[in-house]
Structure formats: C-alpha cells, structure tokens
Chain A
C-alpha cells in the first residue's frame, strides 16, 4: 500500500456506495468504458478503507485454478499454492478482478458463494471451505460495450453484485485529472479534453474504442516531455485507436483543425 492516496476525483456518489457496500460485505460490479478510471477508483478506495488490494487481470484462459490455487510438484512432493483469490479471502483484502467477462464462464462460477451472503470459498482440491476474513471485498470490473454479446456476465453472477456505473469524467473534472496526472497547464489540458470530447462523439467504423481519459493523460505526459501537442495526440490517441489508414489520416487532419491555431 502506498502512503499517499491515489489521485481520484469522484464523478458521482460512487465513493459513498463503495464504502457502504464494503461495510455490508457486498460484492461490487464496476461498469464503465476502458480507461475511465475504474482501476484507479478501486486503488483509492482500498487506501481509504485501509485494506490491501489484490488485482487480477482476467483473460480468456483464466481458470479456476489460477484464481483459487493449485498443487505443484516439487521433487516427489506436491505442494499447494494459494491463488490470488484465496489469498485475499484469507487476509481480508480487496480482491479486484479486472475485466471479469474475459474469464471463462466456468471460472466465474467460483465467485458465487463468495459474492452472496455465504462469503465462503470452497476449495475443491483441498476439500475445505474457507470463510472470508473480515475486510474481504470482491470487486469485479466489466466494460459493457466490449464484446458484450459473445462474452457476457451470467445473470446469476450479476445478481450477486452491487453495480456502480462509471463514465468518463465531465470536462472540468477531466481537465483537473490531466493537470494533476501529467502536470500540464490548464490551457493544454482544456485543449486535450475538448479533443477527447470530439473524438468520443464520432461513430466511425474504424474506431475500436473512444479516446479514454487514460490516452488523454498519455498524450499530456508526452507533451510535458517536450513533444508538440499534435504529435503527442497522434502518438497517444490516434495510433492506439485505429489501424485504418483512411481514418488515421482523417483524425490527424481533424486534430490539426483543433490544435493548429493553438500551437
């Protein structure tokens, strides 16, 4: 745990809801687009609540054993190794499963007894049932726009969670975030935020995602190191967004339209 609170500016009542859910031992579901600050929010809350945070980035080959633990062979002996979820349950930590939809559906089922009133983790391979230590809190994040049909959370999983919906912060908050995270002045931050707003309104086939707060921060940081603003935006925003040469060229010109006069 760091000794300073991770910088997070609330956009609504999410901090209050999180704290209440934590106290009541409820599991949390964070919804929101990539790069809107879900992870940062959890870090800040873990700091406020004084609990260690264990983060697992979920991927599509994540198995139950990856979360719970497994036996390893060492010489002629088998040795049990706790997975991150088991560790959190034992220590009473906040366990944050990032992009939980990515995990296989048979994997998410292991969360069920933990997420409801039982607060237990059955470990089949050891033949035991662990009661969650006080302070344990399960937090999962999920991006509804992303692969939502192919991979969706089971209703039985969702039912066990309290949902907090996050979105990109309002322009003035986002400006503040940029100033703090990248140390750029307000004028630059405002320019970047405006560009972000513009790009988020585009519905173009070639765009994989929209310009998140995260990519805007990256652009601001590049600029802070002396990269001209337009080039920084090209590197941090346009490049990651699309591979399509036509859309890239269009976006580059669009950026020049907005930043050209400011340079």
Chain B
C-alpha cells in the first residue's frame, strides 16, 4: 500500500492517502484519500490510483464543478470519462507504463479503472480543509464519515442529507454546535458511563475522530473492551504517590504500564517541522571555546610552542600540540517529551481548536528540532484510568528512529481518559534515568495542568504532581512544563508546575521565543538541585558513619 500512496502523491503533486474500502466499491477519491476496492491485481491498483491521483493533480475536482454534478449521476459519469482522460494526458510524463495505456483508449464508455466520481464527498472534504486549515484534521474529519453513514447512496437524496450538510458546515468551522452534533450523531460509542469518575462529566470524554476505521477508545470503565487497559493488568511498574493530606507517601500506589501508541492507519504523516524551534535550541550550551595544545589550529599556542622549542633544544621529543583552536563542545542532552492525551485535551482551546491539536503540534516541532540537532529524544503520550491503569504510550523511544512508523503512532494518539500526572512524571523520570545515557536530562511535560483522576482531584493531585517534579529534579532531571492552547486558569498551572520552569502559550508558534530560556532554566535548576541533594546526602552519610564509628 505504501507504494500506492507514494505513487498517488507523486502524480497528484500533493500528499494523498490510499485506503482499501470495505465493502469493495469502485475506486473513488474525495481529493484527499483514494479509496480502492480490495482484491484487485497490482496492475489494476496502479491504474486506479493513477486515474484518481491525476484527477486531483489536474484540479478536476474543483468545488464549483463538483457542485454542479451533485445528484446528476449521468453527467458525473460523462465528466469523469472525458476529464479523466484529460487529466491523465496532462501528467502523462509521470505515469507508470501500466497506466499510460489508459490515455489512448478512445470511446465514450467509462473504463472500469476510472471508478466513480463522488462530488458530495469531494465537497465535504474540501469544506473541512478550507476553514483556515483547522489544525491538522480537526473535528471536521468526522463529518465525512458521518455523512456517509447517514446516506449510503451518494448520488441519491438520502434521508439524512440535510442533516449531514448542516453538520458538515458546522463541524467544519469547529463551532460548538458542530461538536454537539458530532456527539449526538456519533455512531455507537463505547461509552458506558459507569466508570469510576466518568459519571457526571461527559464533556471530558471527547473523542476527536470517531469512526473512519480508526480504533477509537472512549472507554471510561477500565478494561471494558479496551485491549490496552486489559493488558496492563498483568504488567507495569508500581510507583508511590504523595498524599498531601497525611503528609507522607503511599507506597506502590500507582501502576504505570508502557504501551505502543496505536498506529494510525489513515492519516498522512505529520510534517515534523523543526525549523522554528531549531535556532533557539541550537544555542543551548553549544558555544565555541578556545582550546589549547591542539595539533591543528588557527593560531600558534605560544606557551606550548615555547615548551616544544625548549624540549627540542634539550634533546627531548617535543609535543606537537602547539596550536590554539576554537572547538565546539557537545552538549550531551536527552529529552523526554510527555504529551498529555487525557480526555481534557480534546476540549477546545485557543481559536476553537482542540488543545490536543495544539499540544501535538508543539510536541512534533520540539521532537523534530531536538532530533535534528542530534540530541537524544523520546516522545510518550500519557493518560490514566484510575491508579492501577496509568498508561504511557510510546510514540518514539530514545532508540527509535523518527520514521514513518513513529509518525503513524503519533497520529494515533487520541485524547481519552484522565490525567494522573504524578505517576506519569515518575515513570518518565525513570525512563530518563535508565535509558537516556547522557549527563544532561530533561523532561518536558505538555499538559493543560489539570491533574485529575479517580481519587486524584484538586489539591491532592496538584500536590502529588508538584512532588513528582521535585523528585525528578533531585535525580538531576530538569523539568519543563508547557501548556499550549489550553484556556485553563493560570493559577492552577502555577500550583502544579510552579516549582519547575513552566509557561503557558496560546499557540505553538509562540514557543520559539520562549523555549531557549525555559530549557536553560530547567537544566540549570536540575543541576543545582542535584548538587544540593547530593551534598545533603553525603552529609547524612558522613553523620551516619561518624555515629557508627564514633
């Protein structure tokens, strides 16, 4: 399938997705995804993809044309027959041999490889894209599937058409009505409502992209049909939790399990765009320092030169490191990014775009920038369903490549469940300790700062999260907390993240100006804390030894 995706993108000159349709139907496209029936041979696959991609590339699916073809199946057929040929001949130079044969074939009948034209689906998809390119694929994504599930006969006047149209308009703009409709119209959602904290807070269970063949996990009760949650019963690491009311730790209180984030089977790989953040991050601790006694350099190191001369005069073997140069020092930094994927991230944030989209964008940019700069970097999503089911979802571990697979895992992150921040931070710190392998380590938490889970509300949750951050710094792990696009009150953020370097920005594009100082503060405070802590620890040991020996 990957090669068909590449073929489609090359012919169309823009990223296109290719999917097998279930049940089999003639090939068609909505201008963004090409749907292919299963069971065709390789040659027919190539031909069908070539036709549909050529239509996209040649601009044959322009909305004004499509609007005129809605509900006119005969005209749509005729248009497809002639326009398909024109589009193919326009990109003839790009077609593989198998598809080139389609051009010459005359006649007014529609070759089967041309598939069908679905003007309304093209229009629905186009409408989603237009509202200022609502970050990646927002709420509107759901509308296409919803439209289709409401009326199966694309060219006919389906019973749900008016509703569908209304919905796609509203959802496209990401307005509150659209989301409300999305919730009302959503087909069977696995919401049971009898979860530990689910009752009474339906707005927290926002699923962003239900349907469309993606595994949507909006399961509130642990283990109810969710393979991941069930799997974590057996494995996981136990961590203590700080009980602020009693002023002591609850030992082995939270279980954290690591899973792979689900693969997203449809989305185009996100652009890991590192350019904006690269510059501020590149400056961190990577200055040039004059270095003496080099064998090669810009200037003569006079001291070394004189010594070498004296050595030579005295008959000894002189050291040939007699030059002075400026060397760049490596910074040996490892960064673990924890991305809050709890249900609250599905809430609309700045500009009506879900907080999750803002955070995801920020995480992608950050990971790409650090990766490009040669730092070790890992990315995990996290959420929880009670203290025994805290999940860390692996998108990219330290040793993973930043490749298509991690991009698909990244796209597979969907907001669900709750936020046991403290446990996630403790596990993140443990990962950094065990697998980072560098002297400088940094934990970046991207979250709205809403610590909330079963038995983890308000002051309790906030105190535990704060405690976990302090623990991390004592182990020499710098902490940096970012809230991107969330509309929550800043005071809450300060209560949770107050002791660490933290910032709240309305949009990811505000990060570049802040990220440098934040990183610097976080790294410095970790080093200072670690020194203080080690000194105290040594003092205690000395005292202990003195007591024992004295």
Contacts and interface: CB of A to CB of B under 8 A. Distances in A.
Interface in A208-263: 243-247, 249-254, 256-258, 260-262
B9 A65 contact: no
Contacts of B35: none
B15 A203 contact: yes
A73 B300 CA distance: 8
A171 B92 CA distance: 13
Contacts of A129: none
A247 B300 contact: no
Nearest to B282: A150
Interface string B2-15: 11011101110111
A159 interface: no
Interface residues of B, number: 46
Interface stretch (B228-236, B305-313, B481-489, B534-542): B305-313
Contacts, number: 114
A201 B10 contact: yes
A76 interface: yes
Given A75-B312, A150-B282, A257-B46, A250 B5 contact: yes
Contacts of A1: none
A203 B271 CA distance: 9
Interface in A59-83: 60-61, 63-66, 70-71, 73, 75-76, 78
B2 A203 contact: no
Contacts of A205: 269-272, 403-404, 407
Contacts of A199: 10
A203 B46 contact: no
Interface in B439-482: none
Given A65-B298, A257-B96, A204 B271 contact: no
A206 B271 CA distance: 10
A204 B269 contact: yes
Contacts of A251: 3, 6
A260 B97 CA distance: 9
A86 B218 CA distance: 69
**Is the contact region of chain B dominated by helix, strand, or loop, or is it mixed?**
helix
Interface stretch (B22-30, B69-77, B80-88, B320-328): B320-328
Contacts of A49: none
A75 B97 CA distance: 70
Contacts of B237: none
A152 to B, nearest CB: 9
B97 A262 contact: yes
Contacts of B275: 148-150
Contact of B6 (A60, A75, A76, A254): A254
Contact of B278 (A150, A203, A254): A150
A55 interface: no
Interface string B311-349: 011000000001001101000000000000000000000
B34 to A, nearest CB: 15
A253 B46 CA distance: 11
Given A61-B328, A73-B308, A250-B2, A202 B403 contact: no
B337 to A, nearest CB: 18
Nearest to A150: B278
A108 interface: no
A256 B3 CA distance: 9
Given A61-B328, A203-B14, A246 B403 contact: yes
A163 B296 CA distance: 35
Interface residues of A, number: 45
Contact of B326 (A63, A70, A150): A63
Contacts of B42: 257
Residue from A148, A197, A249, A257 whose CB has the most chain B CB atoms within 10 Å: A257
B269 A257 contact: no
B260 to A, nearest CB: 15
A247 B9 contact: no
A198 interface: yes
Given A149-B278, A194-B94, A250-B2, A70 B7 contact: no
Nearest to B305: A73
A250 B3 contact: yes
A250 B42 CA distance: 14
Contact of A258 (B97, B305, B309, B328): B97
B2 A206 contact: no
A78 B300 contact: yes
Nearest to B325: A63
Contact of B401 (A71, A198, A243): A243
B14 A150 contact: no
B300 A254 contact: no
Contacts of B10: 198-199, 201-202, 254
B216 to A, nearest CB: 24
A254 B8 CA distance: 10
Nearest to B300: A71
B102 interface: no
Given A150-B278, A203-B9, A253-B2, A65 B299 contact: yes
15 contacts: A63-B298, A70-B297, A70-B298, A104-B288, A201-B11, A204-B6, A205-B404, A206-B403, A243-B403, A244-B403, A246-B405, A247-B6, A250-B2, A252-B3, A257-B46
